[in-house]
Structures are given as C-alpha cells and as structure tokens.
C-alpha cells in the first residue's frame, strides 16, 4: 500500500513557513533599526565633500546611548539619556534641530561643553588656539536648483583641518570673507555641543540658526555610506529615464567610512 501526499496541506504549510520567516526577518530588522543602526540620507550640501547629496548612510545609535529621539515618533517617556556616552570632537553626528525637533540635521562636532569657539578669517579657533588648516586641492561640483533649471560649475578650495585630538578631515571654502568666516566667541554651555558643517560657507549650523545642541537631541554617529546616487546633478533625472539609473550610482562611495 503506497502512501499519498496532501498537496493542498503541503502548500498551506509552505506558505505558513514563508510567512513566519518574513515576520521574523521584519522583527529583526525593526529591532536593529530602533536600537542599533538607523539609515539616513543626505538631502543638502552642507557636509560636502565629506558627505554628498544622495549619500545613504547608517547611523550608530549605540554610540551616544538613547534619548527619546532615538525611537520612532520620539515618545516622551523619559528625559535625558540612558547608557549615555558623550560625543567626541570630530564626530559626524545626526541630531534633532533644537528649534524644530521634528527635523534631523547632520554636522560635525566641533565644540564640547565649556569650549570657546570662534571663526577668524576663515580659521577655526578652539579655546583661543587656531586649528591647523592646510590647503589640499580644488573640489569641483555642479550645483543646480531643485528643478535643474539653473546649473553652474562651482569650484571650492579644499583644506585639511586637524583638531587638537589629532583627528583630520577636509572642509570647503567657497569665498574669503564669507558671512561665517568671522564670528564672535561662542561659549558652549554645559550639556551642549557646537556643530559645524564641512562646507563652511554653505552650512546652517551652530554659528547661526542652529545654536548650541543639547546632548539629549543627539540620535547617533554617522558610520558608513551604504549607497550613493548623483541625484543633485542635471543628468540625474532618474524618474524620467530609468535606463540611466546605473550610471547615476556613485559606486566608489559604497561602504566608505564617514570620517
């Protein structure tokens, strides 16, 4: 006597197993996103040339511990931070804008609590000492309005800065004597940080509208670029010409660490 199989039962069991695997995978992905790494994309040029418009990166939430801004919808269930670890000077960090806590910003940590920060003739001063700034090369970029109606070639001077801790990174300078090249002295309050964009003449940061950023507003430290596409260039009309999409991808930026 031969044993038959119930194909309908087998099919139902297969679908149930597949659904179970999908649910488990989604649950793991949610846990990772909420507690460990959150993806962000770069919508503006304030961190050029370190980060470009169209970069997608992972931000480590473990780096600074957790505040209410670490979680979806920012539930007001506690104040301050748990498992806190303070940001280090030179970190590229994502935070909530103090003036509008629904908006995410990404900048570099320049001033720690108690520091005095000032810009003089385009040079960064920390506690009265100039941060070394050495010319490297030119950074050429095509910049357009949001509808690509007006585009122009822009050439920046690129410099390397070295913080007191020895951390090196590059900054851009578009014009000498720019609006933010000379400032008053900023005294960073306790529990706050002074943030600046690497694109020094085109960054809304602690020198102007952003002000000092409370530790509680930090979400995490930018770690690695996992995808990048040239969405800010006139050729990148990707929604109109799908066949060009592979050519818009910046393959060389994949898996670059954020420094």
Residue with tokens 């770069």: 42
Residue 179, Cβ neighbours under 10 Å: how many?
Answer: 11
pLDDT (0 to 100) of residue 51: 97
pLDDT (0 to 100) of residue 172: 97
Whether 47 is in a domain gets the answer yes
Number of domains in the chain: 1
Could you say which of 63, 107, 203, 228 is catalytic?
107
Whether 30 is in a domain gets the answer no
pLDDT (0 to 100) of residue 232: 63
CA-atom Rg of the chain in angstroms:
23
Average pLDDT (247-257) is 92
140 is catalytic: no
Average pLDDT (202-206) is 95
Torsion of CA 98, 100, 101, 103, to 10 degrees: -110
Residue 254's pLDDT band (cuts 50, 70, 90)? very high
Confirm if 68 and 81 have CB atoms less than 8 A apart.
Answer: no
Could you say which of 46, 70, 206, 228 is catalytic?
46
Whether 259 is in a domain gets the answer no
Whether 28 is in a domain gets the answer no
pLDDT tens sequence across 240-250: 566 666 778 99
For residues 132 and 162, give the distance between their C-alpha atoms in angstroms, rounded to a whole number: 6
pLDDT tens sequence across 62-105: 999 999 988 887 888 878 898 889 999 999 999 999 999 999 99
Whether 1 is in a domain gets the answer no
CATH code for position 132: 2.10.109.10
**pLDDT(141) > 80:** yes
Structural domain of residue 99, as residue ranges?
Answer: 39-253
Percent of the chain with pLDDT over 90: 63
Whether 156 is in a domain gets the answer yes
Residue 255's pLDDT band (cuts 50, 70, 90)? very high
**pLDDT(148) > 60:** no
Whether 16 is in a domain gets the answer no
Backbone angles phi, psi at 154, to 5 degrees: -120, 135
Whether 186 is in a domain gets the answer yes
DSSP result, 58-71: EEESTTT-B-GGGS
pLDDT (0 to 100) of residue 237: 47
For residues 32 and 155, give the distance between their C-alpha atoms in angstroms, rounded to a whole number: 40
**pLDDT(239) > 60:** no
Strands 129-130 vs 133-144: parallel, antiparallel or unpaired:
unpaired
pLDDT tens sequence across 186-200: 999 999 999 999 999
pLDDT (0 to 100) of residue 243: 66
């Amino acid at each position: 006597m031969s044993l038959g199989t119930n194909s309908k039962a087998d099919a139902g069991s297969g679908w149930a197993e597949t659904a179970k695997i999908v649910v488990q995978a989604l649950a793991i992905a949610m846990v990772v996103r909420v507690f460990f790494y959150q993806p962000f994309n770069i919508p503006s040029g304030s961190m050029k040339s370190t980060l470009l418009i169209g970069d997608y990166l992972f931000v480590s939430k473990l780096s600074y511990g957790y505040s209410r801004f670490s979680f979806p919808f920012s539930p007001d269930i506690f104040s301050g931070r748990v498992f806190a670890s303070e940001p280090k000077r030179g970190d590229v960090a994502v935070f909530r804008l103090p003036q509008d806590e629904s908006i995410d910003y990404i900048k570099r940590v320049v001033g720690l609590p108690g520091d005095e920060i000032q810009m003089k003739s385009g040079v960064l001063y920390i506690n009265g000492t100039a941060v070394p700034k050495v010319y490297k090369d030119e950074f050429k970029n095509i910049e357009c309005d949001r509808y690509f109606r007006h585009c122009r070639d822009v050439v920046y001077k690129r410099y390397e800065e070295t913080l007191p801790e020895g951390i090196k990174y590059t900054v851009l300078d578009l014009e000498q004597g720019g609006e933010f090249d000379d400032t008053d002295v900023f005294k960073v309050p306790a529990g706050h940080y002074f943030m600046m964009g690497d694109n020094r003449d085109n960054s809304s940061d602690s020198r102007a509208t952003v002000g000092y950023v409370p530790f509680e507003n930090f979400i995490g430290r930018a770690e690695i670029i996992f995808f990048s596409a040239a969405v800010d260039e006139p050729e990148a009309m990707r929604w109109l010409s799908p066949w060009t999409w592979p050519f818009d991808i910046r393959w060389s930026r994949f898996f670059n660490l954020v420094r």
